[in-house]
């Protein structure tokens, strides 16, 4: 994630949020110093403002300094990553339910065909198989070790349902 250098006007907004909690009187000198510090810490204005709010929720009697913010920003970024992962999983599940096919993820960069199967989405983005090579190897190993007529399990691996074959010694009804 690319963080733009913070200018003193942005830092002044962060200081204004802090002053709402601790009644400080932000100055131009403070804004310049905070802008330099937050740029060095690679913290954006939006992240800094939210980190200040979180700081005062956790430490209402203290006064926030730039050095306090990285821990709160790291927490924000973790939450944002977890939300993105949860959304991706939900999107994949929705796709599988709607189409009955294994979900593919699409890259945002580049045009061309998927190196695995040559498909693209409607916007020309390459897609990536939902299963990793390790998953494919595990499925192949499970298929080799299962008896040929294990009901329904192989069909689930294939992504669809087919009539199970009887196990050896079972009667066909």
Q: Which of 71-80, 103-112, 126-135 has the lowest mean pLDDT?
A: 103-112
Q: What pLDDT is stored for residue 148 in this prediction? A: 59
Q: What is the pLDDT of residue 115?
A: 44
What is the pLDDT, as a whole number, of residue 35?
A: 96
- Whether the pTM exceeds 0.85: the reply is no
Confidence of residue 94 (pLDDT cuts 50, 70, 90): confident
- Domain ranges within the chain, ordered by starting residue: 8-71
Q: What is the mean pLDDT of residues 20-42?
A: 95
pLDDT at 11 over 80: yes
The DSSP-derived string for 72-108 is HHHHHHHHHHHHHHHHHHHHHHHHHHHHSS---EEEE
pLDDT greater than 80 at residue 70: yes
Tally: H helices and E strands in the chain: 6, 2
More confidently predicted of 28 and 120: 28
pLDDT tens-digit series, residues 99-125: 766 555 544 444 444 444 455 555 555
* Burial of residue 125 (number of CB atoms within 10 Å: 0-12, 13-18, 19+): middle
Look at residue 3 and tell me whether its pLDDT is greater than 70: yes
The percentage of residues in the chain with a pLDDT greater than 90, rounded to a whole number, is 42
The Cβ of residue 18 has, within 10 Å, a number of other Cβ atoms equal to 23
Most confident of 46-60, 86-100, 103-117: 46-60
């Amino acid at each position: 994630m690319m963080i733009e250098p913070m200018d003193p006007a942005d830092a002044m907004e962060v200081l204004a949020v802090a002053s709402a909690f601790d009644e400080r009187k932000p100055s131009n000198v403070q804004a310049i110093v905070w802008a330099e510090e937050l740029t060095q810490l690679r913290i954006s204005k939006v992240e800094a403002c939210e980190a200040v709010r979180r700081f005062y929720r956790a430490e209402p009697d203290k006064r926030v300094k730039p050095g306090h913010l990285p821990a709160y920003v790291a927490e924000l970024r973790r939450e944002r990553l977890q939300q993105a992962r949860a959304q991706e999983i939900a999107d994949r599940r929705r796709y599988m339910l709607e189409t009955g096919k294994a979900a593919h993820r699409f890259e945002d960069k580049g045009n061309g065909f998927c190196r695995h199967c040559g498909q693209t989405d409607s916007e020309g983005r390459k897609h990536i198989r939902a299963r990793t090579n390790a998953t494919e190897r595990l499925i192949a190993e499970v298929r080799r070790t299962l008896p040929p007529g294990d009901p329904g399990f192989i069909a689930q691996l294939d992504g669809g349902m087919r009539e199970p074959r009887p196990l050896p010694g079972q009667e066909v009804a």
